[in-house]
Structure 1
């Protein structure tokens, strides 16, 4: 279950992504599969090649990108 993000934050994140910016969105996430973890950060960018280059420098696995 995800929670903790309001519509304005989500809209802003989507706008940044659509402009080709590297954008971050962190929210609360409760899932029994991941005990002890209660947040998740999503990174997005319309330019997937740019996102992959950024990810290579910051530990983002290519198979996590969808």
Structure 2
């Protein structure tokens, strides 16, 4: 279940992913399988090969790509999430969701 994002942010994420860009969307989240994680970052791209290539630079395996919903995407959690958001220059998401 997602919390803490606006409709416009979701719309922008979908537009970027649909256009073949690597798109990031961080939101508050709860899943009982991961009680230590309170946020998730979804990294999507309609071009699956581009998403695979992007993920490889961070050690993400293509088997981890979720194929459900509109676009293939990785779910980033915990330290991996923080490391990648920092590397991608997305400090505003780190601050906004208190991940620092």
TM-score, with normalisation over the residues of structure 1?
Answer: 0.90
How many angstroms does 1:59 deviate by? Answer: 2.5
Could you list the runs of 5+ residues in structure 2 that have no partner in the other structure? 68-100
Cα distance in structure 2, aligned partners of 1:53 and 1:61:
10
Give secondary structure in 2 for the equivalent of 1:21: coil
SS at match of 2:11: helix
RMSD in angstroms over aligned alpha carbons?
Answer: 1.0
| TM-fit CA distance, 1:50 | 0.6
Shift of 1:20: 0.6
- Superposed counterparts of 1:1-66, under 5 Å: 1-65=1-65, 66=67
1:61 Cα deviation (Å)? Answer: 2.1
TM-score normalised by L of structure 2: 0.62
Number of residue pairs the alignment of both structures matches: 66
Q: Which has the higher contact order (CA 8 A, sep 6+)?
A: 1
CA distance in structure 2 between the aligned counterparts of 1:18 and 1:32, rounded to whole angstroms: 30
Task: Measure, in 2, the Cα distance between the counterparts of 1:3 and 1:59.
Answer: 28
